[in-house]
């Protein structure tokens, strides 16, 4: 605990797509009945981006995940100090050092990641329990973690035409209804099937295969694949892309940002 930076933490919103639903990874300690986002403290001699990757690996075992920093959460009343004290009591760590670290106001930097469900294997780790929860059925979480999730989704929604959402969430071969379900889950509203198909195909980011998926309904939908060359020109996934957005934002800033983003990443 000597190297921990007091009052400075990281929380990660890990999003996947499975069984036609967007899901968020939650965890809780086995001694309390309170779900939360995977997170932890930043060390004094550690870059915050490195801290986010380290914390994610330590808490979930996940590695090589593309993380995007999206907001700093620092409201004066965001931390429920009594709740933190109860957790320490249940943990049996009610020492002066732990009280100083946990029972005080602290800020948290939020990161989100989009991951393929089949590529992720998460095992419960020493006193940590993990569960994928439907985005539209998130329970009441620890402190302001519901707000952190909402903020992440709003940022993704804002940048939905510029982030490789489906590319990061779907398998190599996919059907268009699944891609549309992802966008509908982010936007929170239905999308016209024909217009969506037309927009996706005209973008050049996906290509239809001469192969259909066998389903119980008729007709069987075609498989599609992403244009990997197009996506490789859009993003460098080996780096953490920073996008810090604070409220309120101006229309001028947003228009300028989206034009620059389109110029450099979608040409």
Average pLDDT, the chain: 80
Q: Would you state the structure tokens that stand for residue 104, as one six-digit string?
A: 């005080």
- Hey, how many other C-beta atoms are within 10 angstroms of the C-beta on 121? 8
Q: Higher-confidence residue: 234 or 197?
A: 197
At residue 57 the predicted structure's pLDDT band, cuts being 50, 70 and 90, is confident
> How would you write 163-196 as a 3-class SS string?
CCHHHHHCCCEEEHHHHHHHHHHHHCCCCCHHHH
Average pLDDT, stretch 137-166?
92
With beta carbons less than 8 A apart as the criterion, state whether 132 and 24 touch: yes
* Cα separation values, 15 from 111, 115, 201, Å: 11, 6, 25
pLDDT at 215: 82
Angle at 78 between CA 36 and CA 8, to 5 degrees: 75
Residue 206: which of 164, 237, 258 has the closest Cα?
164
Q: Is the pLDDT of residue 19 over 60?
A: yes
Q: Is the pLDDT of residue 41 over 80?
A: yes
With beta carbons less than 8 A apart as the criterion, state whether 15 and 117 touch: no
Average pLDDT, stretch 179-191?
95
Average pLDDT, stretch 239-256?
41
Q: Would you state the structure tokens that stand for residue 107, as one six-digit string?
A: 């800020």
Q: Is the pLDDT of residue 258 over 50?
A: no
Q: By percentage, how much of the chain surpasses pLDDT 90?
A: 44
- Hey, how many other C-beta atoms are within 10 angstroms of the C-beta on 86? 14
Q: Each residue of 74-114: pLDDT tens digit?
A: 888 887 777 766 766 666 665 666 655 565 677 899 999 99
Q: Is the pLDDT of residue 122 over 90?
A: no
pLDDT at 71: 94
pTM: 0.81
pLDDT at 204: 87
Q: Is the pLDDT of residue 238 over 50?
A: no
Lowest-pLDDT range of 63-67, 116-120, 175-179, 254-258: 254-258
Q: Where does residue 136 rank: exposed (0-12), middle (13-18), buried (19+ CB within 10 A)?
A: exposed
pLDDT at 44: 87
At residue 239 the predicted structure's pLDDT band, cuts being 50, 70 and 90, is very low
Q: Higher-confidence residue: 164 or 170?
A: 170
pLDDT at 169: 94
* Cα separation values, 68 from 6, 22, 104, 110, 243, Å: 23, 18, 27, 8, 7
pLDDT at 120: 82
The helix or strand, by DSSP H or E, that contains position 132, with its residue range, turns out to be: strand 128-134
pLDDT at 124: 63
pLDDT at 1: 56
């Amino acid at each position: 605990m000597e190297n921990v930076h007091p009052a400075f933490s990281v929380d990660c919103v890990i999003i996947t797509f499975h069984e036609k639903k967007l899901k968020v990874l939650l965890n809780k300690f086995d001694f309390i009945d309170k779900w939360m986002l995977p997170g932890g403290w930043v060390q004094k001699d550690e870059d915050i981006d490195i801290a986010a990757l380290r914390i994610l690996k330590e808490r979930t075992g996940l590695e090589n995940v593309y993380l995007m920093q999206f907001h700093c959460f620092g409201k004066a009343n965001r931390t429920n100090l009594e709740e933190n004290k109860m957790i320490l009591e249940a943990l049996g760590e009610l020492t002066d050092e732990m009280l100083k670290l946990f029972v005080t106001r602290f800020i948290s930097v939020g990161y989100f990641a989009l991951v393929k469900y089949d590529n992720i294997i998460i095992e419960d780790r020493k006193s940590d329990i993990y569960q994928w929860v439907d985005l539209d059925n998130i329970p009441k979480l620890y402190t302001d973690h519901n707000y952190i999730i909402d903020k992440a989704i709003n940022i993704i929604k804002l940048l939905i035409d510029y982030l490789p959402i489906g590319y990061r969430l779907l398998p190599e071969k996919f059907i268009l209804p699944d891609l549309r379900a992802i966008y509908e889950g982010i936007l929170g509203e239905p999308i016209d099937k024909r217009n969506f198909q037309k927009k996706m195909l005209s973008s050049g980011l996906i290509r239809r295969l001469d192969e259909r998926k066998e389903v119980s309904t008729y007709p069987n939908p075609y498989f599609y694949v992403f244009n990997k060359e197009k996506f490789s020109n859009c993003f460098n996934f080996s780096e953490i892309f920073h996008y810090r957005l604070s409220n309120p934002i101006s229309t001028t800033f947003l228009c300028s940002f989206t034009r620059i983003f389109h110029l450099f990443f979608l040409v």
